Chains A and B, each alone.
Chain A
Amino acid sequence: MPSGRHGEAQGRGVAWTEERRRSDEGRRRLKAPRSRAASRAGKLPGVPESVLIANRGEIARRIARTARQLGARVIAVYSEADAGLPFVAEADEAVLIGPAPARLSYLNADAILAAAASTGAHAIHPGYGFLAENADFAQRVLDEGLTWIGPSPYAIEQMGDKIRARNLMADAGIPVAHGSSEAARDAADAVAHARRIGYPVMIKAAAGGGGIGMTIAFDDDQLRAGFETARSRAERFFGDPAILIERYISSARHVEVQILGLADGRVIALGERDCSAQRRHQKLAEETPSPGVGAGLRERMLAAAVQAGEAVGYRGAGTVECLVDSQTGEFVFLEMNTRLQVEHPVTEMVTGIDLVEQQLLIADGAEVSFDPGSVQPSGHALELRVYAEDPVRFLPSPGAITEWKEPVGDGVRVDAGYAAGNVVTPHYDPLLAKLVVHGADRGQALDRARIALGEFVVAGPKTNLAFHADLLNSREFASGDYDTSVVSRLRP
Chain B
Amino acid sequence: MTEIRAEMVANVWKVVAAEGDTVADGDTLVILESMKMEIPVLAEGAGSISRMAVSEGDVIQEGDLIAIIE
**A interface residues, Cβ below 8 angstroms from B:** 210, 212, 280, 388-389, 395-399, 425-430
Contact = CB atoms under 8 A, between A and B. Distances in A.
Contacts of A425: 9
Interface of B: 7-11, 33-37, 39, 59
A426 B7 contact: no
Contact of B34 (A210, A212, A280, A396): A396
A280 B10 CA distance: 19
Given A395-B7, A396-B8, A397-B8, A429 B39 contact: no
A428 B36 contact: yes
A430 B10 CA distance: 13
29 contacts: A210-B36, A212-B36, A280-B37, A389-B35, A395-B7, A395-B8, A395-B37, A395-B39, A396-B8, A396-B10, A396-B34, A396-B35, A396-B37, A397-B8, A398-B8, A425-B9, A426-B8, A426-B10, A426-B11, A426-B33, A426-B34, A426-B35, A426-B59, A427-B35, A428-B36, A429-B35, A429-B36, A430-B35, A430-B37
A402 to B, nearest CB: 15
A396 B36 CA distance: 9
Contacts of B9: 398-399, 425-426
A393 to B, nearest CB: 9
Nearest to B13: A236
With most chain A CB atoms within 10 A of its CB, the pick from B7, B34, B35, B39 is B35
Contacts of A212: 36
A426 B10 CA distance: 6
Contacts of A280: 37
A10 B35 CA distance: 25
A155 B9 CA distance: 39
A398 B36 contact: no
A396 B34 CA distance: 6
A388 B10 CA distance: 13
Contacts of B11: 426
A395 B42 CA distance: 14
A210 B38 CA distance: 13
B18 to A, nearest CB: 19
A397 B62 CA distance: 10
Contacts of B39: 395-396
A238 to B, nearest CB: 12
B44 to A, nearest CB: 15
Given A395-B8, A395-B39, A428-B35, 18 more contacts: A210-B36, A280-B37, A388-B35, A389-B35, A396-B34, A396-B35, A396-B37, A397-B8, A398-B34, A399-B9, A425-B9, A426-B8, A426-B9, A426-B33, A426-B34, A429-B35, A430-B36, A430-B37
Contacts of B37: 280, 395-396, 430
B58 to A, nearest CB: 12
Contacts of A398: 8-9, 34-35
Nearest to A389: B35
With most chain B CB atoms within 10 A of its CB, the pick from A389, A426, A430 is A426
A363 to B, nearest CB: 28
A317 to B, nearest CB: 23
B23 to A, nearest CB: 19
Contacts of A210: 36
Nearest to A461: B8
A9 B50 CA distance: 54
A389 B39 CA distance: 12
Q: Nearest 10 pairs between A and B by C-beta?
A: A396-B35, A426-B34, A430-B35, A396-B34, A398-B9, A426-B9, A429-B36, A396-B37, A426-B10, A426-B35
Contacts of B33: 426
Contacts of A427: 35
Nearest to B7: A395
B30 to A, nearest CB: 15
B10 to A, nearest CB: 6
